Amino acid sequence: VAAPHPIEARGLVKRYGHLTAVDHVDITVEAGTVYGYLGPNGAGKTTSLRMLLGLIRPDEGTAKLFGRDPLEEGAAALDGVAGFVEAPRFYPYLSGRRNLELMAALDGGDAPDRIDAALETVGLAGRDGDKVKGYSHGMKQRLGIGAALLRDPRLLLLDEPTTGLDPAGMRDMRELVRRLAADGITVLLSSHLMGEVEELCDRVAIVRSGRVIYEGALDALLRSTGQRYRLRTTD
């Protein structure tokens, strides 16, 4: 039997009153790929990612990570999985390293080697002693991903990690995503930027008003449309 995919979601639906925020979404993410979940603001990206992680319950459908459903199996189903969906809140008057130490302690252990590795990977090794208060937005985002890396994930879900960053911050974040992928981590990345998804992702789902309107390989999409697909977003 083949190993279960990192993500297999079928028929996910989430309604808020009359609004169907996520409308029968299927997502399959294969191991070793970077999967782009692309759509404009309000398309339902965050809601989808929160359902995948078991943070909210879908009205219909199922989401499995490595074949396990976090809603049924709890934290054990999230072994090897990390999410950057809600940016973690850091203690501003403590250093980046101290913040990670506290998070590692909450997760049941202090892991100096893992903290060193995470800080190195996210490019903060030289600034780890500085108070988070003095970090740029991009550095805080990268520290957030460093926190996710403490779980030693095989699968990482990143919700719009570049939103709100200046050009240098975006470049650093994209470089980091490439590095994580090169390290063998499977990544689901949501974005409203076509160019970003084109640069980083192997496959893409394009979502509008909660629905997936295209799913497949990016090169096939670009070939079939004969031009760059145009989304009405702020790309």
Under DSSP, is residue 132 helix (H, G, I), strand (E, B) or coil?
helix
What type of residue is 28? T
* Nearer CB in complex with ligand ATP: 46/99: 46
Stretch that binds ligand ATP, among 42-50, 72-80, 170-178, 224-232 (CB under 6 A): 42-50
Q: From the DSSP assignment, how many helices (H) and strands (E) are in the chain?
A: 8, 9
Helix (H) or strand (E) holding 140: helix 137-149
Burial 113-144 (b: 16+ CB within 10 A, else e): ebbebbbebbbbeebbeebbeebeebbbbbbb
Q: Which is nearer to ligand ATP, 21 or 103 (CB)?
A: 21
State yes or no: residue 47 binds ligand ATP (CB under 6 A). Answer: yes
For residue 103, how many C-alpha atoms fall within 13 Å in the half-sphere facing its CB? 23
Identify the CA nearest to 27 among candidates 190, 148, 168, 164: 190
Per-residue mark of binding to ligand ATP, 162-201 (x: CB under 6 A): ----------------------------------------
Among 6, 44, 96, 138, binds ligand ATP (CB under 6 A): 44
231 CB neighbour count, 10 Å cutoff: 18
* Radius of gyration, alpha carbons of the chain: 18
Q: Which is nearer to ligand ATP, 226 or 232 (CB)?
A: 232
- Give the span between the Cα atoms of 147 and 96, in whole angstroms: 10
| Residue 43 engages ligand ATP in binding (rule: CB under 6 A) | yes
- Least separation, in Å, of the C-beta of 6 and ligand ATP? 21
Of 8, 27, 46, 70, which one interacts with ligand ATP (CB under 6 A)? 46
Question: 12-41: which residues touch ligand ATP (CB under 6 A)?
Answer: 16, 19, 21, 39, 41
- Of 23 and 172, nearer to ligand ATP (C-beta) is 23
Task: Pick out residues in 135-164 that bind ligand ATP (CB under 6 A).
Answer: 160
Q: How many residues bind to ligand ATP according to rule CB under 6 A?
A: 12
Query: Site residues (CB under 6 A) for ligand ATP?
Result: 16, 19, 21, 39, 41-47, 160
